[in-house]
Amino acid sequence: MGGYSPEFEISLLSGKTVLDHLNKEEFCAYAVHILKDGWKVVNEKGSFPIEKADFSWIDEKGTKHRFSAAFNAIHGNPGEDGVIQGYLDILGIPYSSSGLFASAFTFNKLQCSAYCKKLGAHIAESIIIRKDSIPSNSELIDSLGLPFFMKPNRSGSSFGVSRIAIESDIKNALDLAFEQDELVIAEKEVKGIELACGLSDHNGLPEVLGITEIVSKNSFFDYQAKYFGESEEITPARISEVVQLEIEKTSTFLYRELELKGIARIDFILTAEQIPYMIEVNSVPGLSPKSIVPQQAAWKGIALSELFGKNLKVCMK
């Protein structure tokens, strides 16, 4: 849990949720904080540095411990972009989330959206922006209209994302997005209902946990809305059975085609014409008590101890 991105605090909450709910009779689990100032095991006895050569640690009695598996609850870098996956692959330690390639690929919004569009998913029109080739304001507005979104290509939890309603907002939005990534996406706004579909392979096959309708009090589902109660999250979503089945089918199909593993979440905007546009794929979604996936598990009648425990068992087979 933790990470190097602005999402580290949310990740610590996700990790704590997992640790609190894992069955202590089945697992001897420890909190591993992966932070910029160091990697360490944190428990009631203190803080103990991780030996990165073999992902081991020495406790207060001088006993060395090695992990047999890792539950990955790191959002953003290095847990959602393939970095920690590559490290664990080298050491031969199984982990609960998607693999190196799937994680890196889905974290790259540009590549993931382009591929999903080829697979048949509805994707909003967008323009790619680099620092050395920034289009004029008039070019952006002529192509995308107002309002439109500005977002970093590789980032999570809506960090660096802005909704641009007037031309004078463009420069600040660009600066904010470039703080997160060197590649920025200007994306046409798709008006409609925001939906989040949670999935998991805890039973060995992709399974939809639920579809949640998100009603943000802000102009979009931003960081404040996600984590500070500035949204209403309704599970199950207030959609027709036809749309529900379509989103479930599309999400399961994309989960397989993108080679996702473990718990994931795919987000959509449902237009007035009942067309679901895919927004993004989250290979390590939030798992804190306020997050969407735990709400979906509760609605489906799956205890978090079962969900998390089975995810570990599947990855260890």
Find the mean pLDDT for residues 68-89: 97
Q: What sign does the dihedral 4-10-15-16 (CA atoms) show?
A: positive
* pTM score above 0.85: yes
List all residues 6 or more positions away from 61 whose beta carbon is below 8 Å from its beta carbon.
Answer: none
Grade residue 225 by pLDDT with cuts at 50, 70 and 90.
Answer: very low
pLDDT of residue 184: 96
Q: Which residue has the tokens 């949720």?
A: 17
Grade residue 156 by pLDDT with cuts at 50, 70 and 90.
Answer: low
CA distance 176 to 150: 9
pLDDT of residue 229: 56
Q: Beta strand pairing status for 56-58 and 46-51?
A: antiparallel
Q: Is the pLDDT of residue 218 over 70?
A: no
Task: Please provide residue 188's backbone torsions phi and psi, each rounded to the nearest 5 degrees.
Answer: -60, 135
Amino acid letter, 97: S
The architecture that CATH gives domain 108-119+191-316 is 2-Layer Sandwich (3.30)
Q: Which residues pair with 264 in a beta bridge?
A: 199
pLDDT of residue 228: 53
Specify whether domain 8-98 bears CATH 3.40.50.20.
yes
pLDDT (tens digit per residue) in 248-286: 999 999 999 999 999 999 999 999 999 999 999 999 999
Grade residue 74 by pLDDT with cuts at 50, 70 and 90.
Answer: very high
Computed over every residue of the chain, the mean pLDDT equals 94
Contact between 300 and 209 under an 8 Å Cβ cutoff? The reply is: yes
CA distance 25 to 21: 11
pLDDT of residue 219: 57
pLDDT of residue 231: 78
| Distance in angstroms between the alpha carbons of the first and the last residue of the chain | 23
Grade residue 211 by pLDDT with cuts at 50, 70 and 90.
Answer: very high
Contact between 259 and 98 under an 8 Å Cβ cutoff? The reply is: yes
Q: Write down the domain spans for the chain.
A: 8-98, 108-119+191-316, 126-188
Q: Is the pLDDT of residue 226 over 60?
A: no
Q: Is the pLDDT of residue 224 over 90?
A: no
Q: Identify each DSSP E strand in the chain by its residue range.
A: 31-35, 38-43, 46-51, 56-58, 64-66, 126-130, 148-152, 162-164, 183-188, 193-200, 207-216, 231-234, 264-270, 276-282
Nearest to 195 by CA among 180, 213, 209: 213
Task: Please provide residue 130's backbone torsions phi and psi, each rounded to the nearest 5 degrees.
Answer: -115, 155
pLDDT of residue 159: 80
pLDDT of residue 244: 98
CA distance 137 to 129: 12
pLDDT of residue 155: 81
Largest CA distance in the chain: 67
Q: Is the pLDDT of residue 288 over 80?
A: yes
Greater model confidence, 23 or 224:
23
Find the mean pLDDT for residues 94-123: 97
Nearest to 263 by CA among 95, 23, 33: 95
Nearest to 280 by CA among 100, 9, 75, 99: 75
Kindly report the CATH number that applies to the domain delimited by 126-188. Answer: 3.30.1490.20
Q: Which residues pair with 42 in a beta bridge?
A: 31, 47
CA distance 88 to 249: 32
Structure tokens at 29: 């689990």
Q: Which residues pair with 70 in a beta bridge?
A: 95
Of 77-86, 185-194, 215-224, give the lowest mean pLDDT range. 215-224
Q: Is the pLDDT of residue 164 over 70?
A: yes
Greater model confidence, 220 or 158:
158
pLDDT of residue 241: 97
pLDDT (tens digit per residue) in 140-154: 999 999 999 999 998
CATH topology of 8-98 equal to that of 126-188?
A: no
Structure tokens at 185: 């996406």
SS3 213: strand
Alpha helices by DSSP H, 67-222: 83-91, 100-107, 109-118, 137-144, 170-178
